[in-house]
Structure 1
Amino acid sequence: MNQLEALKQFTTVVADTGDFRQLAQFQPRDATTNPSLILKAVQKPDYAPLMQQTVERHRSAELDEIMDRLLVRFGTEILGIIPGRVSTEVDARLSFDTSATIARAERIMRLYRAEGISPDRVLIKVAATWEGIQAAARLEQQGIRTNLTLLFSFCQAVACGQARVQLISPFVGRIYDWYKKSAGGQWDEAARAGANDPGVRSVRQIYQHYKHFGIPTEVMGASFRNTGQILALAGCDLLTISPELLAELAASNAPVQRALDPAHAAGLDLPAVSYDEPSFRYALNEDAMATDKLAEGIRAFAADAIKLEQLLKAV
């Protein structure tokens, strides 16, 4: 049994890609996309026709609608390959606008329904800002399931749990990147690997809090830099993994042990924590890493959305 097969005994494996032709070989249950992944995919010859067809069919529509239709086209193709759910992201430029995020999410779901896709097979990805979390809470009340992304801090995770969102995606690799860059020449890779990796520790804290207090929100570790980070979170509800790292896991037969266990978390002595808007904003502000990475992530996704729009205009 290779490491990928062994990991699937403890954790639902999700493919982190817009390149749906790569999916079948790894047999993930779910798949996640974002504007950066879709931008990368449509620049490949295999996928350029999808963009061209989408623009030609809907040329009279507004640019933002054409972009949503392209995202849904990719999601629909992915759902033809995987048995589970696909995550499709709301434009990151709406990350601080609750009502606009809700409207965009509702439109994406209408487009999926028009393609005959059941709502339970789609997760709407929303940035875990205060406004995004409030939008997600209202979407969940409508039966639209959400995936809160760009999540770097415990306070974001707690607020998402309070909002009863379906799933969160804490970003392991980006947390690791920040601490490594911050430490500079003082960084000790061996000492901060595996269970001691700062990104791994962040996800473990969130997982233990959720399981201890019976919070049903699913935890999906994301943004991995190496297989060591992945294996240190074996047992997490879900892990979304790039095709490159999926291939590394499939090529190794080294043993895999469960690292996260709900029964262990249930027995821990943990304090109850909750946030309202002022305490959430203060806690996030106090976390320099999370503040930096959330802002950086929104900027990067917004920039890629603009690049994608420019490609659509050029068709």
Structure 2
Amino acid sequence: MNQLNALKKFTTIVADTSDIESIRKYKPEDATTNPSLILKAVNIKSNQHFIDKAVKYAKQKGGSYRKKIINASDKILVDLGTEILKYVPGYISSEVDARLSFDKEKCILRAKKIINMYEEQGISRKRVLIKLASTWESIKAAEELKKENIFCNLTLLFSFAQARACAEAKIFLISPFVGRIYDWYFSQKELFSSFLKEDPGVLSVSKIFHYYKKHNYKTIIMGASFRNIKQILDLAGCDRLTISPIFLEELESSTEIVERKLIPSNIFFQTPVSFSEEEFRWEHNQDAMAVQKLSEGIRDFGKDQLSLEKIFYKKI
């Protein structure tokens, strides 16, 4: 048995790509996208028809020039997601514009719009996860959206404070970024060389996993953003892992033994008192890595969103 199939015994595998061919090949349960992956997908010549369809949709909807650009961007997000859902039995994660990450009400409105667009194409909201950055405002938006059966994937998660706030808000799923946590500590290696004996990204997800399980939180933990195969295998047993095609291929081509590393607790503890907003902001602020990587991630996704919009600027 290859490592990919062995890993599937312990963990639900999610494809971290918008590449249809990779999804068809590796047969993941779910798939995730983000502005970077959408931008990469639309730059493939064979996907040009998605751009043309989005432009046509935006012109038909009308409104201001800015409104047309937003509608075209949302349309291509939903159309790619709809196409991906033909090849996965589970969820597609579709991301709200990262520039809205600090506005709860705008996140809610955009999430509802995206869900409505999926439903117009015959896709049940039960198969779509709305991706939001793990800011306080977005966590609260996801908490509200859940009341309307719109479930969210809280991404760009780096601190334990973010994970705890998501669990207390009963968020459906979180995506802690293993590789980006590792990147930050590696860049600070002169200060943290002893810490790097154990992978800090793996340690972060392991801590969240054991905390959630011992307090019986139902929020799904999906490790994301990997830099090497070892990080993936060290999290065997995590609820889900979202993996890029390059590592899916590497796992499929190896027959080395896969051992389960994360095992849920069967002893439960009393649920802690919920975070206040002030407590959340202070605890998150105490983690320099998380503060830097969250803001950096939001900026980078915002830049990719703008690059996507520039494609439409020329056509609308």
Please indicate, yes or no, whether the TM-score normalized by the shorter chain is above 0.5: yes
Deviations for 1:8-45, whole angstroms, at most 9, x for unmatched residues?
00000000011122211111000000001000111111
Which residue does 2:242 correspond to in 1? 240
- Secondary structure at the residue paired with 1:296? helix
- Secondary structure at the residue paired with 2:247? helix
Which residue does 2:231 correspond to in 1? 229
Amino acid at match of 1:245: F
Distance in 2 (CA, whole Å) between partners of 1:123 and 1:234 is 23
- Secondary structure at the residue paired with 1:257? coil
Q: Residues 39, 288 of structure 1: CA spacing in aligned structure 2 closer, same or farther, 3 A cutoff?
A: same
Distance in 1 (CA, whole Å) between partners of 2:214 and 2:191 is 38
- Give how far 1:273 is off: 6.0
- Secondary structure at the residue paired with 1:58? helix
Which residue does 1:15 correspond to in 2? 15
- Give how far 1:271 is off: 8.7
TM-score by length of 1: 0.94
- Give how far 1:314 is off: 1.7
Which residue does 1:142 correspond to in 2? 148
Distance in 2 (CA, whole Å) between partners of 1:185 and 1:155 is 23
- Secondary structure at the residue paired with 1:117? coil
- Secondary structure at the residue paired with 1:31? strand
- Secondary structure at the residue paired with 1:83? coil
- Secondary structure at the residue paired with 1:200? helix
Q: Residues 270, 289 of structure 1: CA spacing in aligned structure 2 closer, same or farther, 3 A cutoff?
A: farther
Which residue does 1:87 correspond to in 2? 93
Distance in 2 (CA, whole Å) between partners of 1:3 and 1:99 is 43
Deviations for 1:142-164, whole angstroms, at most 9, x for unmatched residues?
11010000000111001001111
> Which deviates more, 273-282 or 247-256?
273-282
- Secondary structure at the residue paired with 2:281? helix
Q: Is the 8 A contact 1:209 1:270 kept in 2?
A: no
- Give how far 1:127 is off: 0.6
- Give how far 1:184 is off: 4.3
Which residue does 2:51 correspond to in 1? 51
- Give how far 1:117 is off: 0.3
Of 159, 165, 169, 2:171 maps to 165
Amino acid at match of 1:39: L
Structure 1: gaps (5+ residues)? none
Q: Is the 8 A contact 1:208 1:266 kept in 2?
A: no
Q: Is the 8 A contact 1:213 1:266 kept in 2?
A: no
Task: Report the RMSD for the aligned CA atoms in angstroms.
Answer: 1.6
TM-score by length of 2: 0.94
Structure 2: gaps (5+ residues)? none
Distance in 1 (CA, whole Å) between partners of 2:208 and 2:274 is 13
Of 202, 205, 227, 2:204 maps to 202
Amino acid at match of 1:131: E
Alignment of 1:279-294 (within 5 A): 279-294=279-294
Amino acid at match of 2:291: T
- Secondary structure at the residue paired with 2:258? coil
Distance in 2 (CA, whole Å) between partners of 1:27 and 1:175 is 28
Which residue does 2:258 correspond to in 1? 256
Deviations for 1:174-208, whole angstroms, at most 9, x for unmatched residues?
000000001149747xx846xx2100000011111
Query: How many pairs are equivalent?
Result: 309
Which residue does 2:134 correspond to in 1? 128
Amino acid at match of 2:294: L
Amino acid at match of 1:7: L
Distance in 1 (CA, whole Å) between partners of 2:268 and 2:168 is 20
